[in-house]
Structure 1
Amino acid sequence: MKIYGQFKRKMIFNYFIGSFSAVIGVGSIFIFQTLDLTPHEVELIWTILVSSIIVMFICEILVYRLHLRPLTLYYQQNERSRMMLKEAYETILHFPYLTVKRILLPHFLGLAIPSVSMSLFFIKMKWLSIPYSFIALAALGAFIIACLHAMIEYFLTEKTTKPIILDLQHKLGPQFMSINREKNIFSIKRKLLAGAVFISVFPILLFSVATQVRFIETSLEFAKGFLSWAALIITVITIFSITAAILLYKSIQKPLAELQDGFQNVQKGFFLDLDNPHTDEFSDIVNGFNHMLHSIKIRDKRNEELLDSFYTVIAEALDARDPYTAGHSIRVAEYSCKIGKAAGLSELELQLLRKSALLHDIGKIGVRDAVLLKENRLTDEEFNQIKQHPTIGARIVDQPELSLEMKHLLPGIKHHHERYDGKGYPSGLSGQDIPLFGRIIAIADAFDAMTSDRPYRKGMPFEKAISILSEGSGTQWDPALIEIFLSLIKETDIQYTSTLKYSYSFS
């Protein structure tokens, strides 16, 4: 609430600064230094001005309160909805633009209509001895001054709204970025065009109107032709100003567009350096952008290396509980990645598959050592405990605070003991309903389990393991993936060592 009160006080202060500069300063000079008035006429003019300013203030206050309404509702209500917050934010983004509309409509019309009406009445009553044509010129001058006031107010308001914008952005969260894109009303291009044209044309146009009044008042013969001549000059200057503003905008628009494209690529995960042919301040900005990309790449590489090390350490820690399965998870990950690569998985999918395979037995953390490390054959009850490890593993990984990437590891961890014929566990899935990672890891896990020693048996011969895989194709394992795995084995030079481990170098 405090920040909103500061905003309103600053807006009122800005308004009086703009009004004093434009209406009181330029306007009064325009009137009283251009016309030769008697003391009585000066009093009448001041009466017209004061009366018109009162009407102008009333009109503008009504519209200003209407523009403030969404902000007032949000900051003064005890219960604030998300919709109220969004409407307040959209309003504050519009506020500089609304200020311009307020100056050029209720402000200008509230001043012009009463002053023109009263001036015409005073001229008709012969209380003012000025030509009717002066009223039209005065209205034109008033509009020029209103434009000056609107420009001053726009930039003052733009500065004043920043604390409110930051406050509402903090409350909105990331949603404010999409609203910003939708509500980008007064672009840099419009600012440059309006600023260049107005700054170039305003002094000449105001001078031309004042000079025309002066010429008419002094009855110079060429007064009639001056306005048409001035209009031609102003038109040429306006065209020149617009052309210059467009050229200036284009000189900065292209590097801005390139930077926007660069940031969008970063959002999509593509880290592409920008070319830097610039010789102005954009050179430093582009260099900074490219340096940022290089820092992100280095950081991501380090983070990826740390994560890979983390997954490997976890896998080795799991295997260390049972000396007979040392290296099991790492070998399963290697086998799985070879199958996945041959099956056409993308690089990202292979990375996720590897991590899923490394952690496929993480659920065994929840199995008691007395069961997991038992040297004799397991009882049915003990085997049922072992069968819980995929579900336990999925529950460990499926935590709200973990990253989205961890969620992608769930299918392989939970379903690597499903069977193609539906007789596996924990969900009894069959065929293509079994997630791909689960089907791949099932083959790699079975192959390594069959060829590794256990407390109650020696690892089976290599040829027998291949035979079991072939026989289980279509019942226990996915036939297409089994075919891929067996073809990889046939193309591989695998040597049986004295430690009953296989060295392999899949191509």
Structure 2
Amino acid sequence: MPIYHKFLRKLVQNYLAGSLIAVLGVGGILIFSTLRISLYDAKWIALTLFVSLPFMFGAEFFVFRKHMRPIRNIYNSKETNTKEQFELAFMQLHKLPALAVRRIAGPHWMGMAIPSVILTLLEIRYFHLTLPVSYVLLAFIGSMLVASMHAIIEFFLTAEAITPMLSDLQTRAQHQFGLSLSLEGKVLISVKTKYRSSAVLIGVFPLFLFSLATQVRLVNSTSNGSHAYWQWAVVILAVGVAFSVYSASLLSRVVQNPIDELQQKMSEVQLGNLKIRAMEAYSDEFSRLVKGFNQMVEDLEAREIQNTLLTQSLLTTLAAALDARDPYTAGHSLRVAEYSVEIGKRIGLSETALKDLRESGLLHDIGKIGIPDRILLKDGKLTDEEYEIMKSHPVLGETILAQVQPPNAMAKLLPGVRSHHERFDGKGYPDGLAGHDIPQFGRIMAIADAFDAMTSNRPYRKGMPIQKALQILQQGSGTQWDPEYVSVFLEWAVAQEIEKVRETVASSVQ
């Protein structure tokens, strides 16, 4: 798998970077700036390193393969993986940074140090290597120091490298089994342990390095004067400081990255995205923060869904109560809402806007609650005075909804409710708005409301056929109604989808 191979390459790159900094950088500078050895001794030291390296790489490779086996099984297996394998691989990924430290402190260091010490002692005894035996002890101590440096670098780099793998593994487990992989707040290595150990190494390393190098320098001193000594001392101190600065930057990223991620996720939540989740990428106390954050967002999402359902139920009930005043208009508000949503879908409104549009459609006539029955339920034609009273229902509806608590709870619905009787040519009511000055929801609902009114039965007339109503909409396009939205509605209605909506609403009303 490409992501697994990319992960392996990243681990190898991190290993080489750590080796370069610790072994070649610090170790090399320590040896060649401090020791004064003959070419003969240098050749034997080089041979010792050359022979010891295969032992180190062999032991480390064996342990590394063992550490990677649970993860490798997920990505290289030709058989279907089980939930248990995913959980094991997920846990192993979290353990890799600590396992990298063990690998460096064990097979890496011992695989190099033990063969090197044995070979060097044999060379001193049998091949006239002129190095003092005390150097062997100092070299052994120095190798511990270098291995510790390498281990801390490897820990932090591995902790960063596992992040994309954890994300991919969680995605796969969710896709295959609906399994949410999580540490459940479990702490594999505490922040205290991590930062205390790192701080000790970062703070103490330059002192140990300088002390060790000074000891070697004194044993090997040729009294070249203070100037040469300080030139050498500056190099050693610079190496120690550089390592401390680099390690401190890695340590700071371990703290800063989860803080930045959680802060970014919280910003998403503030914008209303309750689908967001923080990734389970940390094995210290930050895992508890991630678990707490995700649980909080899940609870907010559940509450939001519940509130939405309650709101929808309330709005539908209000619409039904309004329609119940006149049995001949039963289902009118629901149909207007559904027709409006169909137009909204085809002009590319967002899911949030479609939700607001549907609610506006459900409540577009809520102001009729304030219209007397003698006018609202009148069988015949309204008088001019009665018609003026009837025309007040959009404003009454806006006033009623504006009283809903909390303040602005219905703010997105008010423009459509007020303007659904405006005309595109400016001859509508209550404000005489024209063209695109009419709020978008009002222009959409005007079409849906008119169509349903034309095709619904009344006590004084029978609803007209759908085709005739569509012809009237076409004739009024650009004068009474927005021509773009009329065209969209006609295209949908001609596809006979409108019948399905009417049947669905009729069954729900019954």
TM-score (norm 1): 0.51
Deviation (angstroms), 1:354: 0.6
Give a deviation string over 1:209-247, Cα, whole Å, max 9, x none. xxxxxxxxxxxxxxxxxx999999998876665555433
Kept in 1, the 8 Å contact 2:492–2:498? The answer is: no
| Aligned counterpart, 2:489 | 485
1:411 aligns with 2:409: no
1:247 aligns with 2:250: yes
Q: 1:494 to 1:257 in 2, by over 3 A?
A: closer
Q: 1:272 to 1:336 in 2, by over 3 A?
A: same
Kept in 1, the 8 Å contact 2:364–2:397? The answer is: yes
Once residues 408 and 325 of structure 1 are traced to their aligned partners in structure 2, the CA distance between those partners, rounded to angstroms, is: 25
| Aligned counterpart, 2:49 | none
1:257 aligns with 2:260: yes
Give a deviation string over 1:35-93, Cα, whole Å, max 9, x none. xxxxxxxxxxxxxxxxxxxxxxxxxxxxxxxxxxxxxxxxxxxxxxxxxxxxxxxxxxx
Give a deviation string over 1:343-402, Cα, whole Å, max 9, x none. 222221111111111110011111112211222321111111000000111122234844
1:335 aligns with 2:352: no
Which of residues 285, 290, 294 is equivalent to 1:286? Answer: 290
Q: 1:379 to 1:281 in 2, by over 3 A?
A: same
Deviation (angstroms), 1:314: 1.1
| Aligned counterpart, 2:311 | 307
Give a deviation string over 1:436-456, Cα, whole Å, max 9, x none. 111110111111111112222
Kept in 1, the 8 Å contact 2:447–2:481? The answer is: yes
Single out whichever of 235-244 and 262-271 deviates more from structure 2.
235-244
Deviation (angstroms), 1:433: 1.4
Kept in 2, the 8 Å contact 1:311–1:355? The answer is: yes
Once residues 236 and 488 of structure 2 are traced to their aligned partners in structure 1, the CA distance between those partners, rounded to angstroms, is: 82
Give a deviation string over 1:284-343, Cα, whole Å, max 9, x none. 221222222222221211111111111111111111111111111001001111111112
Deviation (angstroms), 1:462: 2.5
Q: 1:239 to 1:464 in 2, by over 3 A?
A: closer
Which of residues 315, 321, 331 is equivalent to 1:317? Answer: 321
Once residues 398 and 392 of structure 1 are traced to their aligned partners in structure 2, the CA distance between those partners, rounded to angstroms, is: 10
| Aligned counterpart, 2:269 | 266
Name the SS for the 1:344 alignment partner.
Answer: coil
Deviation (angstroms), 1:417: 0.5
Deviation (angstroms), 1:404: 3.9
Name the SS for the 2:491 alignment partner.
Answer: helix
Once residues 357 and 283 of structure 2 are traced to their aligned partners in structure 1, the CA distance between those partners, rounded to angstroms, is: 47
Q: 1:339 to 1:231 in 2, by over 3 A?
A: closer
Deviation (angstroms), 1:487: 1.4
Once residues 365 and 416 of structure 1 are traced to their aligned partners in structure 2, the CA distance between those partners, rounded to angstroms, is: 17
The list of structure 1 runs, each at least 4 consecutive aligned residues, that deviate by more than 4 angstroms after superposition, is 227-244, 493-496
Q: 1:228 to 1:313 in 2, by over 3 A?
A: same
Once residues 377 and 475 of structure 1 are traced to their aligned partners in structure 2, the CA distance between those partners, rounded to angstroms, is: 24
Which of residues 437, 440, 460 is equivalent to 1:456? Answer: 460
Once residues 243 and 478 of structure 2 are traced to their aligned partners in structure 1, the CA distance between those partners, rounded to angstroms, is: 79
| Aligned counterpart, 1:430 | 434
Q: 1:239 to 1:465 in 2, by over 3 A?
A: closer
Q: 1:400 to 1:449 in 2, by over 3 A?
A: closer
Kept in 1, the 8 Å contact 2:337–2:359? The answer is: yes
Single out whichever of 336-345 and 232-241 deviates more from structure 2.
232-241
| Aligned counterpart, 2:393 | 389
Once residues 256 and 402 of structure 2 are traced to their aligned partners in structure 1, the CA distance between those partners, rounded to angstroms, is: 46
Once residues 235 and 502 of structure 1 are traced to their aligned partners in structure 2, the CA distance between those partners, rounded to angstroms, is: 81
Name the SS for the 2:421 alignment partner.
Answer: coil
Kept in 2, the 8 Å contact 1:196–1:242? The answer is: no
Name the SS for the 2:410 alignment partner.
Answer: helix
Once residues 278 and 486 of structure 2 are traced to their aligned partners in structure 1, the CA distance between those partners, rounded to angstroms, is: 46
Deviation (angstroms), 1:482: 1.3
| Root-mean-square deviation (Å) | 3.8
Deviation (angstroms), 1:427: 0.6
Q: 1:426 to 1:200 in 2, by over 3 A?
A: same
Once residues 462 and 371 of structure 2 are traced to their aligned partners in structure 1, the CA distance between those partners, rounded to angstroms, is: 23
1:376 aligns with 2:372: no
Give a deviation string over 1:456-494, Cα, whole Å, max 9, x none. 222223332222222222221112211111111111156
Paired-residue identity, %? 52
Letter of the 1:263 partner, please give it. Answer: M
Q: 1:230 to 1:347 in 2, by over 3 A?
A: same
Number of residue equivalences? 294
Give a deviation string over 1:247-290, Cα, whole Å, max 9, x none. 32222222222212211221222332222132221222212222
TM-score (norm 2): 0.51
Once residues 452 and 275 of structure 1 are traced to their aligned partners in structure 2, the CA distance between those partners, rounded to angstroms, is: 53
Kept in 2, the 8 Å contact 1:332–1:441? The answer is: yes
| Aligned counterpart, 1:367 | 371
Letter of the 1:273 partner, please give it. Answer: R
Give a deviation string over 1:123-158, Cα, whole Å, max 9, x none. xxxxxxxxxxxxxxxxxxxxxxxxxxxxxxxxxxxx
Once residues 300 and 504 of structure 1 are traced to their aligned partners in structure 2, the CA distance between those partners, rounded to angstroms, is: 27
Q: 1:466 to 1:340 in 2, by over 3 A?
A: same
Q: 1:267 to 1:502 in 2, by over 3 A?
A: closer
1:135-146 equivalence runs, <5 A:
none
1:445 aligns with 2:449: yes
Give a deviation string over 1:397-453, Cα, whole Å, max 9, x none. 234844545211112100111111111110111122111111110111111111112
Letter of the 2:308 partner, please give it. Answer: E
Give a deviation string over 1:2-36, Cα, whole Å, max 9, x none. xxxxxxxxxxxxxxxxxxxxxxxxxxxxxxxxxxx
Unaligned residue ranges in structure 2 (runs of 5+)? 1-194, 208-229, 506-510
Kept in 2, the 8 Å contact 1:200–1:237? The answer is: no
Kept in 2, the 8 Å contact 1:273–1:293? The answer is: yes
